Amino acid sequence: MRRVNGSVNRKGLVAAALVVPPAACAALALARASFDNANAALVLAVVIVGVAAFGYRPAGLLAAASSAVWFDFFLTVPYHRLTINSRDDVETTILLVLIGVAVSELAIWGRRQQARASRHRGYLDGVLATSQAVAAGGSTQELIDQVSAQLTVVLRLDGARFVAGDNRTTAPRLNPDGTVTRGGRVLKVERDGLPTNAEIELPVQHAGRTRGRFLLTAATHISYPDLQQRQVAAALAGQLAHALAPQPH
């Protein structure tokens, strides 16, 4: 199946879900006297899996429904009618639909896991890039800009700005362990998202001393970063804190 800009051509999948099952059933009907319906169902199952495996749920379900309808029309008695007299054929038709549902959901789950793993690799690459920039001794402002940009991506923010100094505010706080607290209460970010009605403070700390803080803004939308994403954000702030700490002579 052709892909457009890295994604499956959904129109092509829908077309395949509509066209391939009746074509396959019509071809099987030409030789239905030489094999039983269980074998025909296996052929249709391959067709369903082939469409559903791309992870586009509507196409997978459509392929399953189309296969069930045309299996009934071409391959069950009475032929060329949407009627099934055999209990075995009824069970086979139901199984075709269930295969489409199951494979579609498995494919969607697999693609989500793959996308999540890819995002997490990107986050870790960002931490590594910041570590390398710190080791290379880049300018402070460049490091701040780099970390600000990475925080915006990792946490899906509107923006992040750095403020020097160790003044503590009453804003919600993203802690080094990835928790978010407000007034001493831990917020359930996975359920409720990051606060949108206030900037979130991310301390930039090294060796027990606060070198500054990032003020994170997520006002135009609700962001739901998971714990690992929040821990990556804290690690990025820690990398910057190391760069801001006075270096021994």
pLDDT at residue number 216: 95
pLDDT at residue number 22: 94
Task: Pick the closest to residue 227 from 186, 183, 171 (CA basis).
Answer: 186
Q: CB neighbours of 214 closer than 8 A, spacing ≥ 6?
A: 147, 148, 151, 160, 161, 162, 163, 201, 202, 204, 237
pLDDT at 215 over 60: yes
Which whole number is the average pLDDT over 126-147? Answer: 76
- The strands making up 173-174's β-sheet, listed across from edge to edge, are 159-164, 209-217, 200-206, 173-174, 180-182, 185-186
DSSP 14-76: HHHHHHHHHHHHHHHHTTGGGS-HHHHHHHHHHHHHHHHTT--HHHHHHHHHHHHHHHHHHHS
pLDDT tens by residue, 64-104: 889 989 988 998 888 888 887 778 778 888 888 888 788 88
CB 53 within 8 A of CB 111: no
DSSP 141-203: HHHHHHHHHHHHHHHT-SEEEEEES----SS-EE-TTS-EEETTEEP-HHHH-S-SSS-EEEE
Q: Where are the domains of the chain?
A: 10-110, 140-244
pLDDT at residue number 246: 62
pLDDT at residue number 175: 94
Q: CB neighbours of 201 closer than 8 A, spacing ≥ 6?
A: 169, 171, 172, 173, 174, 213, 214, 215, 216
Q: Which residue has the tokens 């009934």?
A: 72
pLDDT at residue number 53: 84
Higher pLDDT, 190 or 97: 190
pLDDT tens by residue, 24-53: 999 999 988 887 888 888 888 889 888 888
> Is residue 248 very low, low, confident or very high in pLDDT (cuts 50, 70, 90)?
low
Question: What are the structure tokens assigned to 163, written together?
Answer: 């403020």
Share of the chain above pLDDT 70, in %: 91
> Is residue 4 very low, low, confident or very high in pLDDT (cuts 50, 70, 90)?
very low
CB 41 within 8 A of CB 71: yes
Integer Cα distance of 70 and 58 in angstroms: 18
Share of the chain above pLDDT 90, in %: 31
